Structure 1
Amino acid sequence: MRAVNADSEHLVPPEAPTGALGRLAAPAGVLAAVAGAFAYVATVNPYRPGHYPVCPLYAVTGLYCPGCGGLRSAHAFIHGDLTAALQANAPAVAAYLGFAVLWTLWTVRAARGRPIRLSPGPVQLWGLGAVLLVFTVVRNLPFGGWLHP
């Protein structure tokens, strides 16, 4: 919520949290949410039917989307089975590792009082989209059966 400065009637941004604990509140909250989600997936097996909804794209078309197998991948990753995690959804494993790196950078910078600025350009975003598109196409072709979740 923004306050109004009475003298100039301009919007004034709210004060940033002071102290290390205040600066680490957001990274800690994000970590708690992600850890809670991973703990749930670790205990509720996605290989058993009825616990999670079926992918809508797969249910309607029989095609695997780029996210299909993500829960199975997370379950295997948490239980230390990296081979099964990569087989279920390799880009998801890359995303878990990417999150860990970015979260660590965010936390270190927050502790030092410096903001983290992530501003991927169009080249990076289109590149990521192209990688996911190729992954999706290949996993749905006959020779890409080894990429099925």
Structure 2
Amino acid sequence: MTKAIKLLTALPPPQRERMMALAREVSFPEDARIFESGDRADRFWVIRSGAVSLTQQVTPLQQITVASLGAGDLLGWSWLFPPYEWDFGAEAFSPVRAYEFDAGSVLTLCEDDPRLGIVLVRSVAEILAHRLETTRGRLMDHYALHGRGAL
């Protein structure tokens, strides 16, 4: 498995400073739903402290955790791609402090600073590849555990 990349540390210092100028500090109490699958994705977060569970609704009555995120992790990437809706739900597993970024402001910054845009998109792509690998493993474990893993 590849090592998880941290978005803010992946950015060169000048671009990181420009991004952080857009950041707003927010917090979520334990058990707070941060977003739901299908809702409009117009922001994202970098977790400062605490833990967030990414969830997927498997059946109307069952949801599973497909990823657990912690300090330094990117929460939310659907703001980059049409139809700009969350693919998963997110819930604070513990009290969470995070930097919140408005997607429109970040996209405008990327247009003004193409180097930042390239580094940001590459970093998000690496994060997505890592998450896909992790999620695939969790789903395989889930289905194998419940007897649905056999072909």
Under a length normalisation based on structure 1, what TM-score does the superposition of the two structures give?
A: 0.30
More helix by share: 1
With structure 2 as the length reference, what TM-score do the two structures score? 0.30
Q: Which has the larger radius of gyration?
A: 1
